[in-house]
Amino acid sequence: WFQRLATGLKRSSDQLTGGITAVFTKKRLDEAMLEELEDVLIQADFGVETATSVTDALRRDRFDRDVTTAEVRAVLAGEVARVLAPVARPLDIDPAHKPFVILMVGVNGSGKTTTIGKLAQKLSAEGKSVMLAAGDTFRAAAIEQLQVWGRRTGAPVVAKPTGADASGLAFEAVTRARAEGSDVLIIDTAGRLQNRDELMSELEKIVRVIKKVDPTAPHATLLTLDATTGQNALSQVEIFGRRAGVSGLVMTKLDGTARGGILVSIARKHGLPVHFIGVGEGVDDLEPFKADDFARAIAG
């Protein structure tokens, strides 16, 4: 699957490689080149710290010596892998919880519903029984979309008409999943950003109500982040992380962006586990996150 990841990250890595190649027109490494390289990395959303670590390493080891773009990319890949290694952690579905409750949160359009579908597919393929709950009760399209994913993956979907109370639906879903002995329940949620406070209160209420059925739930609260939004993703981690108790991240749309470096900024700033990355719209386009592979794919 490394090839698919590399293809997905092609826009990020092409832009980066282009930027690096443009900087290293001369062979001997000088201060001007290091400064330009720093700019290229910051533009690519890697963040100031990572940009500085890379240029510091080059200054220390290579200053006034011949350096190739391949060597520069290798230093970058090493730094990216080093930052990402501690956050690359698989999503552990503890079978002691039946169901293992996953709450999916994120702003509209971040890929929440698609990720739920992909995850349902993955878990079903592992032999787990999965139930879905259409908790974005505001949008008819979201309910319908989840039902489509349910049919596609064979997962039953708990849904109510548009406008229904989301926490009531979550309560019903946990109760039903428990009664039916489902291994995993994935609950979709609304992602309106127009009224942030209202949205966060609703998420808090869903969590409170879920706990009435199972005080240990939700067992994972996953935030989907759209990589194409770049720096916006950083503030979303802040907002959702604080109020919704996010336990892990899924970075989506890494295939459609030149801003894949944002994952490195987020890892450095927040240190939250990154469980999966989305590299396409298809059902199989969700991959467990691996630091080394990502670093190699993005650094080209």
Which residue ranges are tagged as binding site for GTP? 106-113, 188-192, 252-255
Q: What does DSSP say about strands 220-226 and 100-105: parallel, antiparallel, or unpaired? A: parallel
| Least distance between ligand GDP and beta carbon 133 (Å) | 14
Candidates 27-35, 83-91, 106-114, 235-243 — which segment interacts with ligand GDP by CB under 6 A? 106-114
| Region 11-70 residues binding ligand GDP, contact defined as CB under 6 A | none
Considering the rule CB under 6 A, would residue 225 count as an interface residue with ligand GDP? no
Is omega for the bond preceding 215 within 30 degrees of 0, making it cis? no
In one-letter notation, the amino acid at residue 176 is R
Residue 112 neighbours by CB under 8 Å, 6+ apart: 104, 105, 106, 136, 188, 189, 191, 224
Considering the rule CB under 6 A, would residue 288 count as an interface residue with ligand GDP? no
Candidates 31-39, 49-57, 108-116, 268-276 — which segment interacts with ligand GDP by CB under 6 A? 108-116
Considering the rule CB under 6 A, would residue 278 count as an interface residue with ligand GDP? yes
| Region 147-166 residues binding ligand GDP, contact defined as CB under 6 A | none
| Least distance between ligand GDP and beta carbon 69 (Å) | 28
Q: Rounded to an integer, what distance in angstroms lies between the CA atom of residue 37 and that of residue 89? A: 30
Task: Give whichever of 73 and 112 is closer to ligand GDP, judged by the CB atom.
Answer: 112
Residue with tokens 């209202």: 198
Contact of 262 with 233, CB cutoff 8 Å: yes
Considering the rule CB under 6 A, would residue 300 count as an interface residue with ligand GDP? no
| Region 185-204 residues binding ligand GDP, contact defined as CB under 6 A | 191
Distances (CA, A) of 13 to 42, 62, 65, 297: 14, 23, 25, 7
In one-letter notation, the amino acid at residue 35 is E
Structure tokens at 16: 């980066």
Q: Where on the chain is the footprint of ligand GDP (CB under 6 A)?
A: 106, 108-114, 191, 224, 252-253, 255-256, 278-281, 285
